[in-house]
Structure 1
Amino acid sequence: RVPFMKVFGGANQVLPSWEKEHPGLAKEVDQICQFEGRHRGWDTTRVNSDLSCVGTWEIIAEDETSRTARRPDGLVKIFVKGSNFHHQTIEFPVKCRADWDRIKAEFLDPDDPARFPADWEEKVEEYRGRDWPLQLTHRGVYGFPRVLMGDEALAFAFYDDPAMVHDIMDTYTDFAIRLWEKMTPDVDFDLIECWEDMCSKNGSIISPAMFREFMAPNYRRIRAFANAHDIPIVLVDSDGNIEKLAELMLEAGVNAMYPYEILAGNDLDEARERLPGMAAIGGLKKEAMAEGDEAVEFEMERAAHLIRKGKFIPGPDHFVQSHTSWPQYRHFMARLREVVLSTPVEA
């Protein structure tokens, strides 16, 4: 059977309102829901695959509801107080080639020993004895420059300075592979996950031609690394409508995607029929949790149907919405567990 995974949210992660109404829930929600695996079902190492040595945040403005902070790499954000997820980038680190050259030289050294946790040897022993999936992490062929530049500046750069975009994408993949090469001699991995978030409800932010020119060569390198190290899954995370993007990803060597957000217009049943080689995770309308029993049961019927077809792990199509109550979430997950345990894969 397929595993029963949380998919979105870390270990024992709860909404603040749930913990306020049910003190102690944050220590046992995973046990109550009987999720399988670890973290969200699969887990990452604690090896830093992002910029390193970026220093600490400097508060440059603050009021009753938010604080604005700058990091030494040039990133400036507004953080909403009392929230883990509500923040906005107002200044990006890379505005020109000189900025990128500085970032590359100062913050993207794969040989920086601080990238590995101090207890790495103990972690290796833990990983060797695990019974849950473990990933290697790629910050995204598109996702990494997006975080450095922002979507708008990156969109212009594809035309105004394509050589720089190529360099950012290629350099980061070089960096990631060098980091992975330090880890794979000691640990067997189950998947490589790449974070992209490169779609809206209207589809991919960049064209198929741009994908094939800028991104596909890097994904082929990722797939080649996976094949050389017996890693069966290359998984891509992208919000929005990913149906057309999935075609391009499959062509470039990716064989699993998530989360197939329903309100973005994804038709997961059709996508699985059209692309049988592309596995899927998520795909259940998170809004249904707060919409009553009929909406929940509709999603359970969809989950059972998709499980039978194979290459599908069901779960919410993104993080739980803030107005969803703990009883609503618990009911949705209890029903989903029943469906997972009782539905065989027929494909």
Structure 2
Amino acid sequence: MLDWLKSENFLCDNSKDALSQVVLKVAPSTEITGFASVDLAGPADASFWLGDSVKSETNSNGYSSALLGSLRAGLLFVPAGLLAQMASPGADFAPSVGCVVPVEYPYHAMVRFLERFAGELAENCGDAPFVAESARVHASAVVEGRVGENAVVGPGCVVMRGATLGANCVLEANVTVYPNVVVGEGCVFQAGAVIGSRGFGFYEYEGVRRPVPHLAGVRIGRECSFGANMVVAAGFLSPTTIGDKCHFDSFVQVAHNCRLGNNIYMASQSGLAGSVTVEDDVELAGGAQVAGHLTLGKGCRIAAKAGVTKSIPAGRVVSGFPAEDIEVWRRSMVRLRQMGKK
């Protein structure tokens, strides 16, 4: 793989994007079999770093430069601008990283890496197909993953290679479970649910918007229920996660890289944009929508049709668009109606 990095121009859009022929550091035993976000990447994982300085307190991807010393990625794409700093005396950049590769656009390099190795990563995704003897699988279902004890897989369902269903799970008709999805015990999926599909993510490169591959899958806890035709999208470098005893109505959207705690309830047509964190015991009423990269604090409630544009503290109840404290919103509605009567 490391020879391929040097010999091929895997960015290959034009000569300007050619991969630097200088691989700053290569550990002899480096072998890449997966990928992860930079803070979670291990010796067999590829990842990327966006910060343009090893001296800055916080880099542009939100990670402190102090993290560099603890990174353990097997392969790390970094901005080419770091080359001088890494080569300078005393700049011991990421000492535990196996291979450091400078490129002009690390994010684009990471995407191309995932595209190049998607097939190989899929082959390494999960164990061989397995269906427990006590499981019931409809004759029209396609099962290439693993199905646990007493699970039920209904007509027209697809469980792809690398997917794992825990004991006592129930898939009603036409449920699709993508690779790298792990479902805990006792979960129920109503008809048409889709778990682990590619998220709605794009990035701009050379004036063109390009799709982001979402291969990190989904992790689901125990005793959750998923309504008809709802979707949980796969993560980019780390999986989308859902805790225990979460319940979702029909037509709910959970986007890529969301992190949900336990005991969460989402009513019909509510949705989370990418990378939203939802703490325990949160409730979203019908049609409520949450913008990306926000946090809903423990126990907060989002009223029907609310549009959340900023993080909500624990225990708050909000309504309206943009969402605000529900008592403030109610007073505002009263004033508006009074103005209309004059």
Greater length-normalized contact order (CA 8 Å, ≥ 6 residues apart): 1
TM-score by length of 2: 0.26
Considering only CA atoms, is the larger Rg found in Structure 1 or Structure 2?
2
